[in-house]
Amino acid sequence: MDKKHDHRAMFSSERGHDGLVERSRRIKMAAEMGLARSSRGRHWSRALHRRLLRRKGATRGGSCGCKDEALTSSKAVEELGVGENEDDAVEVEARVHALQRLVPGGEELSVERLFEETADYIEALQGQVSAMRALACLLDELERDKRVMGG
């Protein structure tokens, strides 16, 4: 996503601390790897795993799963049952596509599978966020204690 890159660029330029950006990226990758591993059975986790490995092994940029969008073309929207009018259908389809891009491995999923994976992915993300927050909190305390003790 562009946002991420901008964020990183901003960070590095402001801080002049390239290591920060790099490290954060690695941390994030480790987080994602943990995420992928902890939810092994899921399609999105496998796709995420694949993506991470690919990113690590060979710097093949870009998202991975642009495999088969045939499954999720207009038929998906039609399945959604959006029969109100054309505009709605188009809107919904656009959002479905957006969701597909968000969820790893979502491009090749049918709409109903996509929703399933999204639900699971959301749960996993929530868990990861809370875990990282806890870690940050803990480290924060450690730092503070160290400073207090050492200082």
**Binding footprint of another protein on the chain (CB under 8 A):** 3-4, 7, 11, 19-21, 23-35, 37-38, 52-53, 56, 78-83, 88, 91-92, 95-96, 98-99, 102-103, 111-112, 115-116, 118-136, 138-140, 142-143, 146
Q: Measured between alpha carbons, how far is 10 from 16 in angstroms, rounded to an integer?
A: 9
Question: 50 or 69, CB closer to another protein?
Answer: 50
Question: 47 or 96, CB closer to another protein?
Answer: 96
Min dist CB 6 to another protein, Å, is 12
Q: CA quadruple 128, 5, 103, 56: dihedral positive or negative?
A: negative
Residue in the block written with tokens 């969820």: 103
Min dist CB 44 to another protein, Å, is 11
Contact 82, 73 (CB under 8 A): no
Q: Measured between alpha carbons, how far is 99 from 93 in angstroms, rounded to an integer?
A: 10
Contact 147, 139 (CB under 8 A): no
Min dist CB 133 to another protein, Å, is 6
Dig out the tokens for 146 from the structure: 């160290």
Question: 28 or 67, CB closer to another protein?
Answer: 28
Question: 67 or 133, CB closer to another protein?
Answer: 133
Min dist CB 73 to another protein, Å, is 14
Element holding 35 (H helix, E strand): helix 18-38
